[in-house]
Amino acid sequence: MSHSRSPLIHNYWIKQHGLDAEYRREAVRPEDFAAFVGSLAERGYRGANVTLPHKEAALALAQPDDRAKAVGAANTLWLGGGQLHATNTDVEGFIANLDAAAPGWDKGLTTALVLGAGGAARGIVFGLLGRGVETIHVANRTLDRAKDLRERFGPAVHPVSWDETNGLLAGAGLLVNTTSLGMSGQPPLEIDVRRLPVSAVVSDIVYAPLQTALLRAADQRGLRRADGLGMLLHQAVRGFSLWFGVTPEVTPELRALVEADLTRQ
pLDDT band, very low/low/confident/very high, at 3 (cuts 50, 70, 90): low
- 60 to each of 55, 85, 109, 239, how far by Cα in Å? 9, 10, 35, 19
Instruction: Determine the average pLDDT of the residues in 139-145.
Output: 96
Res 53: pLDDT: 83
Active site members: 55
Domains 6-88+235-264 and 91-226 share a fold: yes
Q: Where do the domains of the chain lie?
A: 6-88+235-264, 91-226
Res 265: pLDDT: 65
As a whole number of angstroms, the distance between CA 224 and CA 196 comes to 12
Note the pLDDT tens digit of each residue in 150-207: 999 999 999 999 999 999 999 999 999 999 999 989 999 999 999 999 999 999 999 9
Res 96: pLDDT: 97
What DSSP assignment string belongs to the chain? -TT--HHHHHHHHHHHTT-S---------GGGHHHHHHTTTTTT-SEEE--TTSHHHHHHHSEE-HHHHHHT---EEEEETTEEEEE--HHHHHHHHHHHHSTTTTTT--EEEEE--SHHHHHHHHHHHHTT-SEEEEEESSHHHHHHHHHHH-TTEEEEEGGGHHHHGGG-SEEEE-SSTTSTTS------GGGS-TT-EEEE---SSSS-HHHHHHHHHT-EEE-HHHHHHHHHHHHHHHHHS------HHHHHHHHHHHHH-
Note the pLDDT tens digit of each residue in 164-179: 999 999 999 999 999 9
- 62 to each of 41, 56, 122, 207, how far by Cα in Å? 14, 10, 20, 29
Q: Which residues pair with 175 in a beta bridge?
A: 113, 202
Q: Which CATH architecture describes the domain 6-88+235-264?
A: 3-Layer(aba) Sandwich (3.40)
Q: Which CATH architecture describes the domain 91-226?
A: 3-Layer(aba) Sandwich (3.40)
